[in-house]
Every structure is written in C-alpha cells, then in structure tokens.
Structure 1
Amino acid sequence: MSYPALFETSGMRNFAELVDAERQRQIEQFGDQHHPILRGPSNQQLFEQLAEAMRDTNADPDQRCWMTILLEEAYEAGAERDLAKLRVELVQIAAVCQAIITDLDRPKVQR
C-alpha cells in the first residue's frame, strides 16, 4: 500500500495497516455492526471496581504488565458514561495495543 507517511511513532504504520486489515475481515464476516456501548448501571459499577483494582495492581511495579495496563484502560472505558470521554479512553486502549505490538516486535528480551 502506498500513501504518504502519516505516522511518526515507530511501528504505527504497520499497526494501522494490521488493524485496517482486521476490520475489513470483521466487516466481511459480520457486516456493519451496531451494539450498545454499555448496558445498565450495575455494569458501570462493575467496570469502575475492576478499573480501580487494575490501578492498584499497576501501582506495583512487580505486578504491572502489558495486560494489566490494557485491562485498566478497558475497564476505565467500560465505566465511562460521557461519550466524549469514552472516545478518549478508546484511543488510549488503541495506543496501549500499539505499544504492546511494538514491544512484541522488538528483538526478544526476557519478559
């Protein structure tokens, strides 16, 4: 695919291409989907509790890992009712996913 370089972050172009290819596959398989963002206040409370637990976990360097960071962002998104703030959280999730993939693609170090 040829287009101008739009990204400055290492690995971002490859990440965007992978996500685009996956979205194309999903649309082909499932069609254009529409689902509620969140259902019911009990779900919001659950996500708030889970987000808090992940924040506590991530405060400890011996417990923090990519998956706890990703889960913290996902739970924060799940607890958010303001759609503009939800959008910010979802962008943060995408950025963490890109960071994880970039880390996976680096020369292997002990993890």
Structure 2
Amino acid sequence: MSYPTIFTTPGVRAFAEEIDAERQRQLAKFGDQRHLDGTGGLFLANMAHVLRSECQEAADRGEVTWRQILMEECGEAFAETDPKALRTELLQVAAVCAAWIADLDSRA
C-alpha cells in the first residue's frame, strides 16, 4: 500500500509499515486488548537505576550495546507510573527499536 511521505528519518516508513502489519496480526489473533500497566514500585525504580548505570558505564568505556540501550529505556518505562510520562518512555523504547532495526538492516 502506498501512503503519502510523512516520515523523514531513513527507514522509519518501512519500520512503521512493519509495526502496522504486526499490529494487524495481533488484532486478528487477540482482538483489542486492555490491560493494567503493571509499572512503578521500588523494585522497578531500582532496576531502572541499575540499567541506567550499566548503560552509562558501558557508554563511557565506548562499549555500549543495543541491548543495554534498550534495557535502559525499558527499565525507565517500567518504573514510570504517570501515564503521560509512561507514553513518552514507551515512544523512546520504540525509537530505540527502530534505530536497532535500522542498524541490523544496514549490515545486510
């Protein structure tokens, strides 16, 4: 399907189309889902701190990995309880996934 060009970052249009296709598969299989967020609390806040520290230390050594970056972003999302801030964190998770996929695709 062809859509007007609305994405400016290379690879994001293809990523969005793949995400849309996956969402269609999920909707067909599970229907429209509603769940509790399950975020927040001391354990998840501590986990976010540990993941953030691990990522920063690796970055300082010049050895950061996509796994560390994604885990840091997921940890921050898991620790968040405010719906607006959680949405922002989840967008950051999605953006890191897009960047990681773009990196993988560039290796082919």
1:86 equivalent to 2:93? Answer no
TM-score, structure 2 length as denominator?
0.90
Q: Distance between the aligned counterparts of 2:22 and 2:32, measured in 1? A: 13
Identity %: 47
Structure 1: gaps (5+ residues) = none
TM-score, structure 1 length as denominator?
0.87
Q: Superposition RMSD on alpha carbons, in Å? A: 1.4
User: Superposed, which structure 2 residues align to 1:35-54 within 5 Å?
Assistant: 35-38=35-38, 44-54=41-51
User: Superposed, which structure 2 residues align to 1:1-111 within 5 Å?
Assistant: 1-38=1-38, 44-60=41-57, 61=59, 62=61, 63-107=63-107
Q: Deviations over 1:43-102 (max 9, x none)?
A: 622211111111111112355211111111111111111111111001000100000000
Structure 2: gaps (5+ residues) = none
Q: Deviations over 1:18-60 (max 9, x none)?
A: 0000000011111111000016xxx622211111111111112
Alignment: residue pair count: 105
Q: Distance between the aligned counterparts of 2:107 and 2:78, measured in 1? A: 34
Paired residues of 1:58 and 1:68 also in contact (CA < 8 A): yes
